[in-house]
Amino acid sequence: MKKLAVISADVIDSSKFEENAFLGTLQFLEEPSNNYLVNRGESILTSRGDSFQIMIQDVEKAFLKAIYLKSYFKKSEIVLKHQQIKRKLDLRISLAVGNAETIPDEIGKTLEEPFVLSGRALDQMKQKKQTFIITTTNAEYNKELDLSCSFLENILDGWTMAQAEVIYYLVQGFKQSEIAEKLNLTQPSVSNRIQLAHWGLIEKMDHRYKDIVSKL
């Protein structure tokens, strides 16, 4: 048995944007040289232009990869369908950790446990009005994670584009001075955005997530 993490995600209110609005976004995410999200040998499935699923074999990194996805989308905005105004993008994310007997070659054609858990939770999120959820095979841990994710949602939903842009680089390991240079900002400005984005609390949740998955 192999422990796997699976992220299932879809763009919130995607019907309000043009059909091909997300093609460039998904092409970027599928290219390992562009980012730290997808490693060589890990596949990404795009069922439509507005939804996708990712298999992550290094389960301890899965939470921060989900945060990376949130920041990548929330730092962007695109034109609404048939309108001249832009709207900030956002993503609904379901992260699940479970055991798989085999590593699937085509993740769209598998019923291994973590894929089912992740997909099923994503289907339920619209009804529950959730935007971020973590599911495991342990019911008690799931109760804790459900509560933690409710608080986390308030943080992530409150991000401005400027804050998401800084977190996008920070989660990849860039130093504040490097982020400041990339964004043509002062280092105090970068530090302020990091604090306003509540990065310290996100790090604490990452530590707890790692603790939980190590015990599964």
The CATH T-level fold of domain 2-158 is: Alpha-Beta Plaits (3.30.70)
Average pLDDT, the chain: 87
pLDDT greater at residue 38 or residue 73: 73
Taking alpha carbons only, the member of 93, 22, 32 closest to residue 62 is: 93
Closest CA to 56 of 90, 94, 14: 94
Pairing of strands 51-56, 44-48: antiparallel
Residue 48 pLDDT greater than 90, yes or no: no
Residue 35 has pLDDT above 80, yes or no: no
Q: What is the CA angle 143-150-87, rounded to 5?
A: 145
Q: What is the mean pLDDT of residues 6-25?
A: 77
The pTM score is 0.90
Q: Is pLDDT at 117 greater than 80 in this prediction?
A: yes
pLDDT in tens, 143-194: 999 999 999 999 999 999 999 999 999 999 999 999 999 999 999 999 999 9
Question: What pLDDT sits at residue 41?
Answer: 58
Percent of the chain with pLDDT over 70: 80
Question: Taking a C-beta distance cutoff of 8 angstroms, is the pair 82, 103 a contact?
Answer: no
State the DSSP H helix or E strand holding residue 99, giving kind and residue range, or none if neither. Answer: strand 91-100
pLDDT-above-90 percentage for the chain: 57
pLDDT: is 16 or 35 the higher one?
16
Q: Span 130-150, mean pLDDT?
A: 96
Which band of pLDDT confidence, cut at 50, 70 and 90, is reported for residue 33? low
Structural domain spans, the chain: 2-158
At 30 the pLDDT is 65
- Mean predicted confidence (pLDDT) in 185-207: 97
Give CA–CA dist 138/141, Å, rounded. 5
pLDDT 10s digits, 76-106: 877 666 676 777 788 999 999 999 887 776 6
